[in-house]
Amino acid sequence: MSDSLIQIGESQSGDSSRQPRPDWLRIRLSTPRRYHEVNGLVEGLSLNTVCKEARCPNIYECWGEHGTATFMILGDICTRRCGFCAVTSGRPRPGVEENEPEHVAQAVAAMGLRHAVVTSVDRDDLADGGAAHFARVIEAIHRRTPGAAVEVLTPDFRGVPEAVDIVLGAAPEVFSHNMETVPRLYRTARPGSRYERSLELLESGAARQEGGEFSGRLKTGIMVGLGESSQEVQETLRDIREAGVEILTIGQYLQPTPAHLPVDRWVHPEEFDAYRRFALSLGFAHCESGPLVRSSYHAHEHVAAAG
């Protein structure tokens, strides 16, 4: 399998930012009534979503066909400047929005969600990185919609161990933190983060899971097409699995604006299938792997598929 992955990858390497997107990355744009309903609800409650802020290519499917959204809490300004991310970076407004937990919970109830995904910008200006706010959002959703599962996609909290305890203490059904890319590309793609720190965050979640302090599932995601080799991807997947992660997503990096990192290559769907098979051979309970896959894409199906 390793040889086939390398062969597929090397045969397509090059500056894909100057090439048209292949057919498998073309999406159908439509804005049915459900899309406008979700958009109106989000705007009416003054909520941020990663769907809009990160320019997700699946927004029309998720909002228009499934009526789902990934809520982005703690504001819309990130304290870090990742080379792949379209979210605005800079100095956030001080403090947090006190009404945000209830507003998110209200949106989850109004949309009839059974699986709510909550992520955030990085807030290195806060002592706990925003962990307590995450906990309040989880609790508010559970309180208003007791049957809804909550998946949180958190930042690394700068490695503060108490932050993980605070978030997991609110009992989310899924705890996720994205590794994003291979170690060699961290300095370029994630200059404010460290590969080892992100891995340790996931390991700490697994340790609490093993100790009976957390009964949910562990999840992470990576992008390909940034310049990594297939061997580096496989080594990263091994690290992730050894850290105790159960659910994995793998998707194509798409350059959000000309100011962001260029796409190194368009990864063929066959290579994504090979990565999925490799991940399952390592013992992952579920791997969602494809060109348009994002960490929250079909998130409600990941836990069910993992069993």
CA distances (Å), 242 to each of 156, 235, 283, in order? 18, 11, 10
Q: What is the CATH number of the domain that holds 190?
A: 3.20.20
Helices (H) and strands (E) in the chain, counts: 12, 8
Per residue of the chain (307 residues), give pLDDT as tens. 333 343 334 334 445 545 678 887 766 655 556 666 666 766 776 666 655 445 555 554 554 454 456 888 999 899 999 999 888 899 999 999 999 999 999 988 888 888 888 999 999 999 999 999 999 999 999 999 998 999 999 999 999 989 999 999 999 999 999 999 999 999 999 999 999 999 999 999 999 999 999 999 999 999 999 999 999 999 999 999 999 999 999 999 989 889 999 999 999 999 999 999 999 999 999 999 999 888 776 656 656 556 6
Q: How many CB atoms lie within 10 A of CB 107?
A: 22
Alpha-carbon torsion angle 32, 34, 38, 39, nearest 10 = 20
Q: How many CB atoms lie within 10 A of CB 200?
A: 16
Give the integer Cα–Cα distance in Å for 61 and 87: 21
Q: Is 267 exposed, middle or buried (0-12, 13-18, 19+ CB in 10 A)?
A: buried
Give the integer Cα–Cα distance in Å for 142 and 149: 8
Amino acid 68: pLDDT = 59
Give the integer Cα–Cα distance in Å for 60 and 165: 35
Beta strands in the chain (DSSP E): 48-49, 70-73, 115-120, 149-153, 174-176, 217-224, 247-252, 286-289
Q: How many CB atoms lie within 10 A of CB 255?
A: 17
Listed in sequence order, the residues at least 6 apart from 146 whose beta carbon sits closer than 8 Å to its beta carbon are none
Amino acid 279: pLDDT = 98
Domain count for the chain: 1
pTM over 0.95: no
Give the integer Cα–Cα distance in Å for 13 and 44: 44
Strand partners, 118: 71, 152
Contact 278, 241 (CB under 8 A): no
Structural domain boundaries enclosing 141 = 2-306
Give the integer Cα–Cα distance in Å for 216 and 21: 38
Backbone region of residue 174 per phi and psi (left: phi > 0; alpha: psi in -120 to 50; beta: other values): beta
CA distances (Å), 163 to each of 84, 149, 193, 211, 215, in order? 25, 21, 16, 17, 17
Starting at the edge strand found earlier in the chain, the sheet holding 70-73 runs 48-49, 70-73, 115-120, 149-153, 174-176, 217-224, 247-252, 286-289
Amino acid 112: pLDDT = 82
